[in-house]
Chain A
Amino acid sequence: MQKKIILIIPILFILFTSKAQQFNEYEIKLVYLYQSMKYINWPDEKTNSSEHFTIGVYGPENICDLANKMLSSRKIANKPCKTIKISDVNSAKKCDAIYIIDYKKFETIQILNALKDFPILTIGDQLQDFCQSGGMINLTDKAEKYRLELCPENIIDHNLEVSTQLYPISKIIKTEEVIF
């Protein structure tokens, strides 16, 4: 534990003292997105089906471009990341993960319903009742204590695995708590 503290100090020092560390909202969120995906396991048949790890973005083109810039040199499931903009469910079904930005609840539910039998990680961008609607990981507002909402049951239901490593930084949503 002592080693842990000692090692964290220089990082915090750099983080808190360097004025160069001013990122914008989606730069931060894409890093959270990426880091979250590192703690997910996909079934072998899914990961073997393509040479890329494909992230589909339901959202603005510029965020998709930013995701490509930030993630294209990185790997998930030992495959290089590729980000594509999608707007229909058929395209989404070909992805390993989808990131839904600025969609209303009704549209989101239709997407999630269409993907309910597929091992595709679903990540929402501060979407209302995302996990309660069948989503897996929801990025939260900056004012929230936890950076993620996480619904392990929804993840498992889609034949994916999630590391408990994500739990401490997440608000865990249980499906029986669906109250809307």
Chain B
Amino acid sequence: MRFHCAVILIKINKVKIYLLVIVSFFYLNTSGQELNKADKKQYNLGLDYFLDEDYNSARVIFEELFITHADHAELNYYIGACFLNTRYLKQNAIPFLLKAISEDKDMIPSIVHKDMGDLYHMSYDFEKAIYHYNKYIEIAPRKDIYLDHSKRMLEVCTHAIQVIKDTLDVNIYNISAPVNTHNSEFAPYTSADDNILFFTRRKFYTDEELKNTPNPDTLSQLFIAKRTATGWGEQSQIELKGIDLNQDVSLAGISPDGQFVYINALNNGQQDIYKGQYSSDNKMQLEPLPYPINSEYWEGKVTISPDESELWFSSERPNGIGGKDIYTCLMQEDGSWGIPELAGPEINTPFHEDAPFIHPSGKIFYFSSTGHNTIGGYDVFSLLKSEQKTMPSQNMGFPINTTGDDMYFALTADGRHGYFSSSHGNKYGNHDIFKVEMNLNIPLTILKGSILAGEPLRPVGAKIRMLDTKSGNKMKYVYNPNPETGNYLIILPPGRDYTMIIESEEFLPQSIHIQIPDQIEFYELFQSIKLLPIISLGKQVGEHIQINNSFNESSKKESVEKDYDALFNLIDNIILQTDSIDEISKESRGLNLNTAKKENNTIEDNEFADLFASVDEAFNTGDTSTLSKIYNDAIVPDKFEQVFLYSDSEEEKDNLTQVIVGADTILTSPQMATYDEKTAIKASHNDLIEFKAEETLVIIDKKEEIKITPSMLRRSKPKDRRVILTHSFFFETNQKAANDSAINQISEITELLVNNNNLGVIIEGHSDALGQAENNMILSKKRSMWFLKQAQSLGLNPNRTILKYFGETLSTNNPSYDRRIDISIFELKAN
């Protein structure tokens, strides 16, 4: 008689099933006695494979014997045990183990009931699971190590019955290739605008592949996929730097704007959280999060509030209340992180909590837990955050949660979709990424923008501080546009006024007021900011900021697909019938009696047909209101611009705006309002001068006559002028025109003047003291006139010039210096 005893550890996902196999068989008697000699030989061969943990080979042999020995208790038992040792066929063990129990109750160890409980739980047959757990508790030895597990599973099954009863009516999709593959994809995180998806992938081996691969690649890799018009585009692997690449890594979270990525990695024996900024070359330098977020214990996943002022992370440090717990941490005034605090009992339990995720609204918190009323393994729980009171966490329900592990739930900013990874019901591999339609209505605004600067325009290193204008300019949000693209993504509560302080290289800080419309739904707003240097004579003399805002309702994210063809035929018919309107409206109403005829075009059947037809009709009938309506219904950004010109005067600070941001005082260029068009126009043209033809100065220079109308610029006093740029042109003796190289300089000066209507120019002519004073006076006048005429030919209106000539009256003893004109470009001071 031979006696075999083996303890086989089987893992079903993360639920461990321990099958204590007490193999008692007798080659010549007991239960083996039903087998003939040849079958017995095969049976023993199968048993050898089984004990060598080659369950596939063992199962093949046992299943052959099963054909003729279907009632054989041990055979059923071993086939069931072989299935328990597979990765995806565990449920197949149930009928065999049941048969074994029914055929020979005494032979089967009590722990099989625990295993049956686990299998039935995984199969959503909770009543039967409860029966087997109870049976196990009844017959198992008093100190059996699985008693606590079975008692907990009785609670879990009870929860599951209730949760399943309240099954959610939601659609869950496997997001498919190219993200999901036959490998294992997990830990998905999307940016707030749902345009970037980061995820982790681990190579998946089938049982057969694993058997034939001596050194399987078990390390996970980090990937990114970007949304295209048709779904998630091709993914790219991200090369990580700053960690031990021979250790496993996992995505731990991302910042809401998708720029910063958090990684969970084992480095120098420490399982810590690292942070890196994503760059388009798909390389990422990682830095560990500082102590006390990282500690000598395990740290796992992390999430950060949109204003980056609060952070949650999972850790297994000893001061928790059991297993992995979630901690919260606040950013201090000095930018460092405070002491982590254990999150409350609404989150943490004596079981495991992990994968925290705070929604960009800051109002919904998701986490995974094996505690609370899980229906098995990790379940996803949601928690509504309220300043008034703490709400209990809610199981996200079936089918989001299953009896397996369901983790890494993240909700898109618009509340429409959630992403999570799960091992259940997928066809591509052991873990796949799933998308669930949530259709939550979340009043939240995402401001998506880009900031470009310079000539030519390029992304620029910048920092954007968002201040709540109403709450006393207390610093609230700080954002860093992507240095490679200039893109930024800002999440804002709607219905408030904000001040954007933009600090960038080579430009003055900008202070921009924006108003986020009060909305009850999710909105995406778009903004583009361009900072352009104003350069004249090789020197930056000012800056020009252009802002395009698409903040109106038409920029709501879910725009309707364009489908013009359905209306085309109807409109076309209407247009064809309106020929008589042409005759009615062809009345002479203006200066010109021209009778140019409208073209007879065949309007093509395309997506713009109805637009052409509508505008055509409005043009025909002179219907300006319809034209305005068409314009207002379109996605047309509000455009704002402001020019600020530098001055070297000591009073320059008076022209800047002082903005207090926390402990800092920032001097910005004049504030720009972008929400009230009247205000904005006023701001952008606050120095625009009205030119009134009250007096006319006529300068007669022999054959030429130039009329100069006095303007506020011309009549202003020197103390009210803010000088932007000065330059001198020098002349040869008796010459009234400078050399050819001066022409380019005049062109640059004229460009500055023409492009900025609020600028004036003083032209002062001089001569040396050689010759007669009267002739020198005429010569200095001609020199001034020469500049004026050159500038006028390039587009400068002479009304903006102050022309002076001094002859030799201000001459020095340096004739070459005296033969000159001085150009002084100025604007009027604001007050």
A binding-site residues for B, Cβ under 8 Å: 1, 3-4, 7-8, 10-12, 14-16, 18-25, 27-28, 31-32, 34-36, 38-41, 70, 73-78, 104-106, 109-110, 113, 126, 128-129, 133, 141-143, 145-147, 152-153, 156, 161-169, 172, 178-180
Contact B604 A163 (CB under 8 A): no
Q: Which residues of A contact B560 (CB under 8 A)?
A: 19-20, 22
Contact B611 A24 (CB under 8 A): no
Q: Which residues of B contact A166 (CB under 8 A)?
A: 619
Contact A31 B755 (CB under 8 A): no
Report if B773 contacts A (CB, 8 A).
Answer: no
Contact A167 B590 (CB under 8 A): yes
Binds A, one of B16-24, B116-124, B211-219, B573-581: B573-581
Contact B754 A143 (CB under 8 A): no
Report if B599 contacts A (CB, 8 A).
Answer: yes
Residue of A nearest to B711 (CB): A179
Residue of A nearest to B556 (CB): A22
Contact A31 B624 (CB under 8 A): no
Q: Which residues of B contact A28 (CB under 8 A)?
A: 611, 630-631, 634, 636
Docked complex Cα distance between A10 and B497 (Å): 41
Q: Which residues of B contact A106 (CB under 8 A)?
A: 750-751, 754-755, 794-795
Contact A39 B598 (CB under 8 A): yes
Contact A1 B584 (CB under 8 A): yes
Docked complex Cα distance between A36 and B581 (Å): 18
Docked complex Cα distance between A109 and B634 (Å): 30
Q: Which residues of A contact B595 (CB under 8 A)?
A: 163
What's the least CB distance linking B628 to chain A, in Å?
7
Docked complex Cα distance between A126 and B639 (Å): 10
Interface string of B54-96 (1 = CB under 8 A from A): 0000000000000000000000000000000000000000000
Contact B617 A8 (CB under 8 A): yes
Contact A168 B571 (CB under 8 A): no
Docked complex Cα distance between A159 and B567 (Å): 39
Interface string of B591-606 (1 = CB under 8 A from A): 1111111110101101
Docked complex Cα distance between A106 and B757 (Å): 11
Listed A/B pairs (20) with beta-carbon separation below 8 Å: A7-B578, A8-B621, A11-B574, A16-B629, A20-B560, A23-B630, A31-B611, A39-B598, A78-B599, A106-B755, A109-B795, A113-B795, A142-B631, A147-B624, A152-B591, A163-B586, A164-B586, A164-B588, A169-B624, A169-B627
Report if B570 contacts A (CB, 8 A).
Answer: yes
Docked complex Cα distance between A38 and B597 (Å): 8
Partner of A41, one of B578, B594, B637: B594
Docked complex Cα distance between A165 and B797 (Å): 32
Q: Which residues of A contact B587 (CB under 8 A)?
A: 164
| B interface residues, how many (CB within 8 angstroms) | 75
B binding-site residues for A, Cβ under 8 Å: 554, 559-564, 566-567, 570-571, 574, 577-578, 580-581, 584-599, 601, 603-604, 606, 608, 610-624, 626-637, 639, 677, 691, 750-751, 754-755, 757, 794-795, 797
Contact A18 B631 (CB under 8 A): no
Q: Which residues of B contact A18 (CB under 8 A)?
A: 567
Q: Which residues of A contact B592 (CB under 8 A)?
A: 152, 156, 161-162, 164
Q: Which residues of A contact B574 (CB under 8 A)?
A: 7, 10-11
Docked complex Cα distance between A8 and B617 (Å): 8
Contact B601 A75 (CB under 8 A): yes
With A11-B617, A70-B608, A74-B601 known to touch, is A105 a contact of B754 (CB < 8 Å)? yes
With A28-B636, A141-B639 known to touch, is A40 a contact of B596 (CB < 8 Å)? yes
Most buried by B among A14, A23, A75, A77: A23
Q: Which 5 A-B pairs have the closest CB atoms?
A: A168-B622, A109-B795, A41-B596, A167-B590, A163-B596
Contact B614 A104 (CB under 8 A): no
Contact A23 B619 (CB under 8 A): no
What's the least CB distance linking B519 to chain A, in Å?
18
What's the least CB distance linking A178 to chain B, in Å?
8
What's the least CB distance linking B613 to chain A, in Å?
8
Residue of A nearest to B754 (CB): A106
Docked complex Cα distance between A172 and B581 (Å): 23
Contact B614 A11 (CB under 8 A): yes
Contact B598 A12 (CB under 8 A): no
Q: Which residues of B contact A128 (CB under 8 A)?
A: 757
Contact B564 A20 (CB under 8 A): yes
Docked complex Cα distance between A145 and B604 (Å): 30
Q: Which residues of A contact B677 (CB under 8 A)?
A: 143
What's the least CB distance linking A106 to chain B, in Å?
4
Docked complex Cα distance between A73 and B612 (Å): 12
Contact A142 B619 (CB under 8 A): no
What's the least CB distance linking A33 to chain B, in Å?
10
Contact A145 B624 (CB under 8 A): yes
What's the least CB distance linking A80 to chain B, in Å?
10
Contact B584 A27 (CB under 8 A): no
Q: Which residues of A contact B612 (CB under 8 A)?
A: 31, 34-35, 74
Docked complex Cα distance between A16 and B637 (Å): 20
Partner of B619, one of A8, A35, A104, A152: A35
Q: Which residues of A contact B566 (CB under 8 A)?
A: 20
Partner of B611, one of A1, A23, A167: A23
Contact A14 B567 (CB under 8 A): yes
Docked complex Cα distance between A130 and B555 (Å): 29
What's the least CB distance linking A100 to chain B, in Å?
14
Docked complex Cα distance between A179 and B651 (Å): 31
